[in-house]
Amino acid sequence: MSSLNVPRMADLAAAGKKPEILFWVGCAGSFDARAQKVTRAFCKILNETGTDYAILGKEESCTGDPARRAGNEFVFQMTALQNIETLNLYEVKRIVTTCPHCFNVIKNEYPALGGKYEVVHHTQLLQELIDNGKLKIDGGAFAGKKITYHDSCYLGRANGVYEAPRSLLEQLDNELVEMKRCKSNGLCCGAGGAQMFKENEPGDKRINIERTEEALATGATIVASNCPFCLTMLSDGMKAKEKQEEVMVYDLAELIVNNKGWE
């Protein structure tokens, strides 16, 4: 792995600087081996496009999303209020996240606790970088390839973002094939609502298998996702179906880095 220069908020503050945007990494992006690759990919894009950003580093905590959805408001409030203290201390105005769960909580739920920021998901920021000419992508590696896109619940139905990720894929010049259930009808990967952290209730099937089968039915060789938990669930699904060699599950940021050859 090449070394990556990632600015920390505290260092910038010590130098009297305030970045334009804070990159909220999230637990998965920080600790999950697969999601770390997405984090690094996104940082590469931020670096290459000269974006003025920083991360909180050790000062970042879990947003509290799974605790709140499990029902544990006490744990949620503790971690959320701590985060808001930190964010407000650095006078953060704008935040980008690679996790739609973090995105949803900071955007929609932190305001009631005193944390008001402009929050964007990384797919939206990527689109913005393209729109203002800082990021240029063209066909290349993925031109003509069949790709399907999995809507995460927390970017899609929870916040109504369906187009930014699709428009990115379009610019990668590949053939987007939609799954039977897509956009507002998209099927969950099975991880949300703190399901990621417990065993399934008895049933006929795992939800990620159901979704994986649907992705496989499109005949796509790449499944694009926008959420570290969906990434895990769908990758596990591909392994269970023994398709992990043929069908790759990538985050949109990885697709762009691949395309640019910034590896």
In the region spanning residues 111 to 150, those forming contacts with other proteins, defined by CB under 8 A, are 112-113
Quote the least distance from Cβ 193 to other proteins, whole Å. Answer: 3
Contacts of 188 (CB under 8 A, 6+ apart): 153, 207, 211
Longest dimension (CA), the chain: 57
Q: Which is nearer to other proteins, 92 or 172 (CB)?
A: 92
Nearest to 257 by CA among 43, 111, 14: 43
From the list 127-135, 142-150, 202-210, 238-246, the region that binds other proteins by CB under 8 A is 202-210
From the list 12-20, 142-150, 206-214, 245-253, the region that binds other proteins by CB under 8 A is 206-214
Query: How many Å apart are CA 194 and CA 242, to the nearest integer?
Result: 26
From the list 44-52, 69-77, 121-129, 248-256, the region that binds other proteins by CB under 8 A is 69-77
Among residues 90, 167, 178, 193, the one that binds other proteins under rule CB under 8 A: 193
Query: How many Å apart are CA 48 and CA 25, to the nearest integer?
Result: 18
Query: How many Å apart are CA 149 and CA 167, to the nearest integer?
Result: 11
- Partner residues linked to 251 by β-bridges: 225
- Partner residues linked to 225 by β-bridges: 251
Quote the least distance from Cβ 170 to other proteins, whole Å. Answer: 24
Among residues 2, 15, 50, 58, the one that binds other proteins under rule CB under 8 A: 58
Q: How many residues make contact with other proteins (CB under 8 A)? A: 74
Among residues 2, 16, 133, 198, the one that binds other proteins under rule CB under 8 A: 198
Among residues 16, 144, 202, 261, the one that binds other proteins under rule CB under 8 A: 202
Q: Which is nearer to other proteins, 169 or 191 (CB)?
A: 191
Residue carrying the six token digits 């804070």: 22
User: Residue 35 in contact with residue 100, Cβ under 8 Å?
Assistant: no
Positions in 221-260 near other proteins (CB under 8 A): none
Contacts of 9 (CB under 8 A, 6+ apart): 19, 22, 54, 55, 56, 57, 59, 90
Site string for other proteins, 169-188 (x = CB under 8 A): ------------x--xx-xx
The backbone region for 205, taken as left when phi is positive above 0, alpha when psi lies in -120 to 50, beta otherwise, is: beta
Among residues 34, 134, 136, 205, the one that binds other proteins under rule CB under 8 A: 205
Residue 157 in contact with other proteins, rule: CB under 8 A: yes
Quote the least distance from Cβ 158 to other proteins, whole Å. Answer: 3
Quote the least distance from Cβ 194 to other proteins, whole Å. Answer: 6
3-class SS letters over 182-241: CHHHCCCCCCCCCHHHCCCCCCCCCHHHHHHHHHHHCCCCEEEECCHHHHHHHHHHHHHC
Positions in 73-102 near other proteins (CB under 8 A): 73-75, 77-79, 81-82, 85
